[in-house]
Amino acid sequence: MIQFLLNQELRREHALDPNLTVLEYLREHLGKPGTKEGCASGDCGACTVVVGELQRDDTGRDRIRYRSLNACLTFVSALHGKQLISVEDLKHQGRLHSVQQAMVDCHGSQCGFCTPGFVMSLFALQKNSSAPDSHKAHEALAGNLCRCTGYRPILAAAERACRNKPADQFDAGEVETIARLKAIAPSETAELNSGDKRCLVPVTVADLAALYDVYPQARLLAGGTDLALEVTQLHRTLPVLIYIGNVAELKGIKTFDDHLEIGAATALSDCYAVLKAEYPDFGELLQRFASLQIRNQGTLGGNIGNASPIGDSPPLLIALNAQLRLRKGDSTRTLALEDYFIDYRVTARQDSEFIESISVPRASAAWQFRAYKVSKRLDDDISAVCAAFNLRIENGVVAEARIAFGGMAAIPKRARACERALLGQPWNPDSLERACAALGEDFSPLSDVRASKEYRLLSARNLLRKYFIELQTPHIETRVTAYV
Ligand SMILES: Cc1cc2nc3c(=O)[nH]c(=O)nc-3n(C[C@H](O)[C@H](O)[C@H](O)COP(=O)(O)OP(=O)(O)OC[C@H]3O[C@@H](n4cnc5c(N)ncnc54)[C@H](O)[C@@H]3O)c2cc1C
Ligand code: FES
Ligand code: FES
Q: 373 — phi, psi (to 5°)? A: -120, 125
Q: Are residue 85 and residue 35 in the same domain, yes or no?
A: yes
Closest CA to 154 of 185, 112, 109: 109
Atom of ligand 2 nearest to the CA of 47: 4
Q: What order of strands is seen across the sheet that includes strand 323-328?
A: 253-255, 259-263, 354-361, 323-328, 331-336
Q: Ligand 3 mean position to 115 CA, how many Å?
A: 7
pLDDT > 90? residue 150? no
Rounded to whole angstroms, the Cα distance separating 387 from 405 reads: 5
- Pick from 183, 202, 218: which residue ends a domain? 183
pLDDT > 80? residue 442? yes
User: What residue ranges line ligand 2, CB within 6 angstroms?
Assistant: 37-40, 42-47, 70, 72
User: Virtual CA dihedral for 442, 446, 450, 456, nearest 10 degrees?
Assistant: 30
pLDDT > 90? residue 131? no
Residue 25 pLDDT class (50, 70, 90 cuts) = very high
Q: Ligand 2 mean position to 38 CA, how many Å?
A: 5
Closest CA to 125 of 39, 48, 230: 48
Higher pLDDT, 376 or 461: 461
pLDDT averaged over the chain? 95
Rounded to whole angstroms, the Cα distance separating 391 from 388 reads: 10
CATH of the domain at 415: 3.30.390.50
Residue to substitute in 110, 118, 119, 120 for testing ligand 3 pocket (most ligand atoms within 8 angstroms of CB): 110
Q: Name the helix (H) or strand (E) containing 211.
A: helix 205-214
Q: Are residue 276 and residue 167 in the same domain, yes or no?
A: no
Closest CA to 35 of 81, 77, 106, 90: 90
Answer yes or no: is 5 within a domain: no
Q: Are residue 128 and residue 151 in the same domain, yes or no?
A: yes
Atom of ligand 1 nearest to the CA of 295: 17
* Mean pLDDT, residues 130-141 taken together: 92
Hey, is 365 helix, strand or coil?
Answer: coil
Q: How many CB atoms lie within 10 A of CB 39?
A: 15
Residue 478 is predicted with a pLDDT of 52
Q: Ligand 1 mean position to 73 CA, how many Å?
A: 11
Residue 193's Cβ-count burial label (10 Å; 0-12, 13-18, 19+) is middle
Q: pLDDT tens for residues 251-260?
A: 999 999 999 9
Answer yes or no: is 12 within a domain: no
Answer yes or no: is 292 within a domain: yes
Q: Are residue 77 and residue 178 in the same domain, yes or no?
A: yes
Hey, is 318 helix, strand or coil?
Answer: helix
* Mean pLDDT, residues 454-480 taken together: 86
For ligand 1, whether the C-beta of 358 sits within 6 Å is: no
Q: Are residue 238 and residue 119 in the same domain, yes or no?
A: no
Q: Are residue 261 and residue 376 in the same domain, yes or no?
A: no
Q: Percent of the chain beyond pLDDT 90?
A: 92
- Number of folded domains that form the chain: 4
* Mean pLDDT, residues 49-55 taken together: 97
Query: Which ligand places an atom closest to the C-alpha of 286?
Result: 1
- Pick from 361, 387, 404: which residue ends a domain? 361
For ligand 1, whether the C-beta of 269 sits within 6 Å is: no
Q: Are residue 293 and residue 403 in the same domain, yes or no?
A: no
Q: What is the DSSP string of 132-180?
A: --HHHHHHHHTT---SSS-SHHHHHHHHHHHH-----HHHHTHHHHHHH
By DSSP bridging, strand 83-85 and strand 2-6 are: parallel
Answer yes or no: is 75 within a domain: yes
For ligand 1, whether the C-beta of 294 sits within 6 Å is: yes
Query: Which ligand places an atom closest to the C-alpha of 22?
Result: 2
pLDDT > 60? residue 449? yes
pLDDT > 90? residue 158? yes
Query: Which ligand places an atom closest to the C-alpha of 112?
Result: 3
Q: Ligand 1 mean position to 331 CA, how many Å?
A: 25
Q: Are residue 38 and residue 75 in the same domain, yes or no?
A: yes
CATH of the domain at 236: 3.30.43.10
Residue 58 is predicted with a pLDDT of 84
Atom of ligand 2 nearest to the CA of 43: 3
Q: Ligand 2 mean position to 226 CA, how many Å?
A: 13
Residue 469 is predicted with a pLDDT of 96
- Pick from 316, 345, 361: which residue ends a domain? 361
Higher pLDDT, 189 or 381: 189
Residue to substitute in 299, 306, 376 for testing ligand 1 pocket (most ligand atoms within 8 angstroms of CB): 306
Answer yes or no: is 329 within a domain: yes
Residue 326 is predicted with a pLDDT of 98
Residue 378 is predicted with a pLDDT of 85
Q: Are residue 263 and residue 223 in the same domain, yes or no?
A: no
Residue 428 is predicted with a pLDDT of 97
Q: Ligand 1 mean position to 446 CA, how many Å?
A: 22
Residue to substitute in 109, 144, 146, 152 for testing ligand 3 pocket (most ligand atoms within 8 angstroms of CB): 146
Q: Ligand 3 mean position to 45 CA, how many Å?
A: 11
Residue 483 pLDDT class (50, 70, 90 cuts) = very low
Asked if residue 4 lies in contact with residue 82, where contact means CB atoms within 8 angstroms, the answer is yes
* Mean pLDDT, residues 84-101 taken together: 98
Residue to substitute in 21, 43, 296 for testing ligand 2 pocket (most ligand atoms within 8 angstroms of CB): 43
CATH of the domain at 131: 3.10.20.30
Q: Ligand 2 mean position to 70 CA, how many Å?
A: 6
Answer yes or no: is 3 within a domain: no
Query: Which ligand places an atom closest to the C-alpha of 285?
Result: 1
pLDDT > 60? residue 17? yes
pLDDT > 50? residue 235? yes
Q: Ligand 3 mean position to 112 CA, how many Å?
A: 7
* Mean pLDDT, residues 83-88 taken together: 98
Asked if residue 222 lies in contact with residue 354, where contact means CB atoms within 8 angstroms, the answer is no
Residue 246 pLDDT class (50, 70, 90 cuts) = very high
How open is the CA angle 190-192-193, to the nearest 5 degrees? Answer: 135
* Mean pLDDT, residues 1-17 taken together: 96
Q: Are residue 47 and residue 152 in the same domain, yes or no?
A: yes
Q: Are residue 295 and residue 269 in the same domain, yes or no?
A: yes
Q: pLDDT tens for residues 389-409?
A: 999 999 999 999 999 999 999
Q: pLDDT tens for residues 261-318?
A: 999 999 999 999 999 999 999 999 999 999 999 999 999 999 999 999 999 999 999 9
Query: Which ligand places an atom closest to the C-alpha of 24?
Result: 2
Long-range CB contacts (within 8 A, 24+) of 247-256: 247/202, 247/203, 247/204, 247/205, 247/207, 247/208, 248/203, 248/204, 249/204, 249/205, 249/356, 250/205, 250/208, 250/301, 250/356, 250/357, 255/362, 256/362
Residue 481 is predicted with a pLDDT of 45
Atom of ligand 2 nearest to the CA of 39: 2
| Residue 347: C-alpha distances to residues 151, 306, 309, 325 (Å) | 42, 9, 12, 14
Residue 484 is predicted with a pLDDT of 42
Tell me the residue range of the domain where 135 lies.
20-183
Rounded to whole angstroms, the Cα distance separating 398 from 402 reads: 11
Residue 477 is predicted with a pLDDT of 57
For ligand 1, whether the C-beta of 18 sits within 6 Å is: no
Answer yes or no: is 4 within a domain: no
Q: Ligand 2 mean position to 430 CA, how many Å?
A: 49
Q: Ligand 3 mean position to 302 CA, how many Å?
A: 32
Answer yes or no: is 73 within a domain: yes
Q: Are residue 346 and residue 270 in the same domain, yes or no?
A: yes
Q: Ligand 3 mean position to 149 CA, how many Å?
A: 6
Asked if residue 27 lies in contact with residue 37, where contact means CB atoms within 8 angstroms, the answer is yes
Q: pLDDT tens for residues 359-375?
A: 999 999 999 999 999 99
Residue 480 is predicted with a pLDDT of 44
CATH of the domain at 354: 3.30.465.10
